[in-house]
Structure 1
Amino acid sequence: MSSHRIFKTSVASVYPHYVAKAEKKGRTRAEVDEIIRWLTGFGPDELAAHLAAGTDFETFFAQGPRLNPARAEIKGVVCGVRVEDVPDPLMREIRYLDKLVDELARGKAMDKILRR
């Protein structure tokens, strides 16, 4: 399996872009954090520690304590590719996160984003 460069990119380097995208559309950093915690199972302190440590995406998702089983319900297109059809498991996790942030920025209700 080839390793895409995003796998070794720190989550902290992309996180400000997620927050900026959300805030530009009137959403909050807290909502972005809630989405990340829902997806990975990290608590607030664990998420903050990973961001501070510069954890890469590969390690971040590998250490996710409780990857949410409802993430399989995330469907749609990110960067022209259907997230449910992404063959690489790690890339699919990253695309799930991208899709959730996109839904937030588009004004979707948190209950719908978090598949409640």
Structure 2
Amino acid sequence: MSHRIYSTSVASVYPLYVQKAQRKGRSKAEVDRIFHWLTGHDAESLAAELATGVTFEDFFIRAPALNPDRRLIRGVVCGVRVEEIEEDVMREIRYLDKLIDELAKGKAMDKILRA
């Protein structure tokens, strides 16, 4: 079963991640740092992906280097424990959601990035 979020463009949701962070006194640079850490994108490749309108599914499939430490991300997003999600793409999307939630809740970047 394919979820609607799979075919949603990352570029359409990205500004919402930034707004959520900024409402809580965090920055776009911190949101970008989360994207870079999670996917292996640098500023240039992330901007290119956003410009193409890439879907969430393709964004994670094509990610340059998914961070192996992302498996340390635990907790609940949208009522579901991220570590229990079996579908790979959905788990990656929820990892991203969880990191953005932690940013908005004021967690320190070294904790968010599992340093």
| One-letter code aligned to 2:18 | V
Structure 2 residue ranges without an equivalent (≥5):
none
Matching of residues 15-54 of structure 1 within 5 Å: 15-54=14-53
Q: Structure 2 CA distance, aligned partners of 1:28 and 1:113?
A: 14
Structure 1 residue ranges without an equivalent (≥5):
none
| One-letter code aligned to 1:13 | S
Number of aligned residue pairs: give it.
Answer: 115
Question: TM-score, normalised to structure 2's length?
Answer: 0.99
Deviations for 1:66-102, whole angstroms, at most 9, x for unmatched residues? 1000000000000110000111110000000000000
Partner in structure 1 of residue 63 of structure 2: 64
Partner in structure 2 of residue 7 of structure 1: 6
Partner in structure 1 of residue 80 of structure 2: 81
Q: Structure 2 CA distance, aligned partners of 1:31 and 1:47?
A: 14
| One-letter code aligned to 2:109 | M
Q: Structure 1 CA distance, aligned partners of 2:64 and 2:13?
A: 21
| One-letter code aligned to 1:83 | V
| One-letter code aligned to 1:47 | L
Q: Structure 2 CA distance, aligned partners of 1:87 and 1:70?
A: 17
Question: TM-score, normalised to structure 1's length?
Answer: 0.98
Deviations for 1:8-56, whole angstroms, at most 9, x for unmatched residues? 1000000011000000000000000000010000111000011111100
